[in-house]
Amino acid sequence: DVKVTQSSRYLVKRTGEKVFLECVQDMDHENMFWYRQDPGLGLRLIYFSYDVKMKEKGDIPEGYSVSREKKERFSLILESASTNQTSMYLCASSKNPGQGIGANVLTFGAGSRLTVL
């Protein structure tokens, strides 16, 4: 069963801590995404990557950075966590558009719920 795995389901961190959220996919997908989900705001794109070492800012990149050293792994980094980054973080992956059935369909992980105190 193909899947996207997020390493931590629940994290509690303190303001100012550095936080790493890890995501691994086993589908050989080119694209990987980090979204943030908040009530009433839906999903907002933080960053996405279309290839190893490549990244592009999404709609809300401030306060976040990402790393993609291997095709299957995409990490989200909060350099100095703040309380307004308390949220559910969703990782997703997809094939490139135009690559046939299933292209451009996102497969999501189960999410990482981060609380910053």
Partner 1 sequence: GNSVTQMEGPVTLSEEAFLTINCTYTATGYPSLFWYVQYPGEGLQLLLKATKADDKGSNKGFEATYRKETTSFHLEKGSVQVSDSAVYFCALSDFGNEKLTFGTGTRLTIIP
Q: Which residues bind partner 1 (CB under 8 A)?
A: 4, 31, 33, 35, 40-45, 48, 50, 58, 90, 92, 94, 96-98, 104-111
The contacts of residue 17 (CB under 8 Å, 6+ apart) are: 80, 81, 116
Residue 42 CB, shortest distance to partner 1, in Å, is: 4
Return d(Cα 55, Cα 46) in angstroms, integer: 11
Cα-based angle 63, 67, 70 (whole degrees, multiple of 5): 165
Nearer to partner 1, 82 or 115 (CB): 115
Residue 96 CB, shortest distance to partner 1, in Å, is: 7
Residue 40 CB, shortest distance to partner 1, in Å, is: 6
Nearer to partner 1, 87 or 109 (CB): 109
**Helix, strand or coil, per DSSP, at residue 45:** strand
